[in-house]
Copies of this chain bind each other. A is one copy, B any other.
Amino acid sequence: MNAKILIVEDEPVIQELLAFNVTQAGFQALRAEDADSAWQQIRNNAPDLILLDWMLPNTSGVILAKQLRSDTATRDIPIIMLTARGEERDKVLGLESGADDYITKPFSPRELMARIRAVLRRHVPQRQDEVVAAGGLELLPAAHRVTAKGAAIELGPTEFRLLHFFMTHAERVYSRTQLLDQVWGTQVFVEERTVDVHIRRLRAALEPAGMDSLIQTVRGSGYRFSVN
């Protein structure tokens, strides 16, 4: 959810402005002033989207875009071109440029973010949503629903993800660290004991249905979802 956006812009003021807006909107901003540093950033940080200035020193933005498109590793990274007023829309979006969208300077932050989100939206792969059943519980990812013997069970977002993970990884012990990685994500820093609390909340939610014993404590190791 926290997409990385590479800003390729030689003008420091504009670069700063872009980075500010992007960061403000909750994205991670990477920066580059020219084609070389852009490539370096791309190799090291694998951005999800590139904001590319049409005019760049040495190599122009168009040429960089072309190169990006011809390289298998970067072919699928969407590009939004930054152009000066008056550039021909046809040229910008034309075949050779390979841009997904463009925006003319000066631009409103709102429009910039809207375009970024729109482009990202179309490039995010679809996730799976198969029905999961285990231990008398049924979980429907698409409907975001859990039922035990037909009765609905209300869960908060985190408990839902936690249960989903457990149900798809039953009969195996997971440490608190592993659960944090899998359910919270690798980039979140929270106390390990937080897992305990959510386990408790999940058990409490399952308890009315008599399903709370499905989640077992393995002292010294972690937790396990087990049908037995």
Q: Which residues of A contact B (CB under 8 A)?
A: 17, 21, 78, 89-90, 93-95, 97-101, 106-111, 114-115, 117-118, 121-123, 126, 142-144, 152, 156-157, 171-173, 177, 181, 186-187, 189-190, 218-221, 224, 226, 228
Contacts and interface: CB of A to CB of B under 8 A. Distances in A.
Given A101-B111, A189-B114, A93 B106 contact: yes
B144 A224 contact: yes
Given A114-B122, A118-B189, A156-B219, A172 B108 contact: no
A115 B189 CA distance: 7
28 contacts: A21-B95, A78-B110, A93-B106, A94-B108, A95-B109, A98-B109, A100-B108, A100-B110, A100-B114, A101-B108, A114-B123, A114-B190, A115-B189, A117-B177, A118-B122, A118-B186, A118-B187, A118-B189, A121-B181, A142-B172, A142-B173, A143-B172, A143-B173, A143-B224, A144-B173, A144-B218, A144-B221, A156-B219
